[in-house]
Structure 1
Amino acid sequence: MYSARKVAFGLFAAATVASAADAPSDVTQLTKDTFGDFIKSNDLVLAEFFAPWCGHCKALAPEYEEAATTLKEKSIKLAKVDCTEESELCQSYGVEGYPTLKIFRGPDNITPYSGQRKAAAITSYMIKQSLPAVSILTSETIGDFKTADKVVLVAYIEASDKASNETYTKIAEKLRDSYLFGATNDAALAESEGVTAPAIVLYKQFDEGKATFAEKFEEEAIEKFTKVASTPLIGEVGPDTYSDYMSAGIPLAYIFAESAEERKELGDALKPVAEKYRGKINFATIDAKSFGAHAGNLNLKTDKFPAFAIQETVKNQKFPYDQEKEITHDAISTFVEDFVAGKIEPSLKSEPIPEAQEGPVTVVVGKTYEDIVLDDSKDVLIEFYAPWCGHCKALAPKYEDLASLYSKSEWKDKVVIAKVDATANDVPDDISGFPTIKLYPAGAKGEPATYSGSRSVQDLIKFIKENGKYKASVEEKKEEETPVAPAATESSSSEAAEETHDEL
């Protein structure tokens, strides 16, 4: 998601990029004539495919430059390609939006960059990519390795313990994009650390400084340990951490406060609660001055802080704590205990239920979402939109035409074309941009298909036919239409970027 803060930073970056245009750069600009040789002559390259008009590219530029300068010392190259000048080259690598970042280990080994777009994150990510999945450590190298990143793992395993070594290597291969993994079979190092092999020590630059895993080496157990131990006991929600918390798979408890002092005071007071539910609920503070509007997404008032709420991230359910009550250790402890026990009903934001459905598109609100969208007897195509979204407005007449075709066909009782204002109604879906279109097929509501094609009536009909249970198809009236471009996304359209109003 892109926040108002990120958009503002993008505008600032745009103003500063011009003045820095003539400054020496550690980012190599490539063309179709130089790209191939550059990739072949460097073992590891991060390449950015960009467009000069792209706001997100402008925001990335200073971060990318800073990372390039830092990584130069480690012989890790950063490059960029202007896709407005090198369209064929960009198309050959499947570039569909800007910026697109790809990691090259030679011309045939290409993987997407999935890290954050900040200098420190890019640097950390690429250093991980430059190292083997597991770095073999000695008494001379282990000291520096422990502090090489915010979180690192070191396994103390005897050389003869093949099973533990294989398990650890397998996990390292799987999680290498997120963490640094090291290992040693030096018994003296294990003894100095106070552990008995096999064991894993996770070193971190926060909280208690390290955590130890001394159980049987099983993949699931080690992965769970790593995820829990690498998450701050009480972290901070912001643009750089929001997506990680949302994808963690466990509820997130927000502590809203306007000052750093108050956030620390409340965080300290609630630490025992966070410790009790560690691994089951993540706790994090959030700057209410910068991101107070996000309180509204949790069904809290946006003008009364401090505040507390729990979000069930998987189902996107919200449990706001009464803002008229004081936030204390005892009160929040009881609230969280009741939440875990299922004694608190989720807060549901919903527009009024329509008295009647007017027009061919079925209007869904929070209170009717389950009855309509999750009706197991029907294929339901639903558009998640925002009233301010220009792309949603452009889609509206075509979406009406689509709904009209199905409502007048033999499929009228089997296929529903629906829409929901995702800014005014709580929905269980993960929506990161507007419009988002999903098909919930009859008999398989837990496996919705997300639409990513051009927003034409014909293509939407094809999507319903291919992904719905009933394979329902209708005939579109043959009329002259303005050609429809591929669906714009937040990362591929400067206009869309300006329309993105998510706070985090």
Structure 2
Amino acid sequence: MKVIGSWNFLIRLAIICCQLFPVTESSSVVVTQENYGDIIKSNDLVLLTFYVDWCRFSKLLEPIFEEAAAKVREKFPEDGRVILGRVNCDTEMELANMFNIIKYPTLKVTRGGVIHREEYRGQRSVEAFVEFVERELSDPIKEFHNISELQDEVADGLVIGYFMSKDDEEYLSYRRTARVLRDHCRFMVGFGEVSKDLHPPGKNLLIFRADSSSINHKEYYSEYSGNMTSIQELLYWTTVKCMPLVREITFENAEEVTEEGLPLLLAFYDKNNMDPVREFKTVIQSEFADENRINFLTADGARFAHPLFHMGKTKADLPLIAIDSFQHMYVFPKFADIHKPGVLKKFIEDLYSGQLHLDYHMDVDFDEEKNNTTEEVDVSPPVVHESKFKDLMPSKHRYTLINRTRDEL
């Protein structure tokens, strides 16, 4: 009798404890080598956190990510929409290598089954994660109802679809493409009567409209001529159009750009005069179409005034070109020389041959030689400064960094 009474008491105590401290099922999904393929293929959006248990930044993120996963599941309960998953890099090293994880925690995104090189780099809060998911699952295509709306759209790159109806299989492929590349391009569409005069009867049409600084006006408008039901072909065409050889660097994308590990060739410009930007893009596209050892970037001189100041330059010195190797900044002597065939190419080759770095170490000898001779010296000493863009690389105050060694250029 005594035992039974004690047993009943323990049962009642367990019930009370469960009410006060409910056991909650994890809202995020454990992703492994075995299940990740099915997960990314069967969901419109997957946000993955790559972590290790011994990383303090991973431990700080864990409860935030879990709460966000619960709110996302509550907001989007239907299957196939979105999953927030976690990958333990100590036990899933193959997955970590596949996603090229070099710091913890890293947040990666897949859209429509496509793994993206880019990471989630927004604020690490429950609200920010939920807002990110909401934006990602919103319609990636803006519908226009009047042709005049297209004239009002200003974007670095704009893909415009002219379709007969929303039920068209080709339009569904266009939607999927837009979902995958929404961060790299703007997408618009017109249906039926609105666009019927802008495409051949019975045929849908896709047009790419380049940015306002496009230098080749023959390519300002480009028509897609491939198979509109082929996701692979659509993605390839749109990626080529929307991800230009020359990008604009901002404080928002600087961490992403610098993490690619390639030296930066930067064209600093005055936003009141965009002609040098067009000139720079012309030279890069004509001479460096196959160059993959360096990132070609334009930079607003007002926004990046600090690196200019560090190089002893001001707005009055714009336009200006410099290489940042993440060790040093090397100033290209004269912007106008980019139009001389091979001059800018040699500047880049001198970086990789080590000549720019050698000149840097010979700077003192050069000055001494110049001071000890009365003859005029034809060659100018290299203009070299410590890197400033390395300060925009992923911070050790936010990540546990691994594989941090790099060659000095």
Higher helix share: 2
Q: TM-score if structure 2 supplies the norm length? A: 0.43
Which protein has the larger Cα radius of gyration, Structure 1 or Structure 2? 2
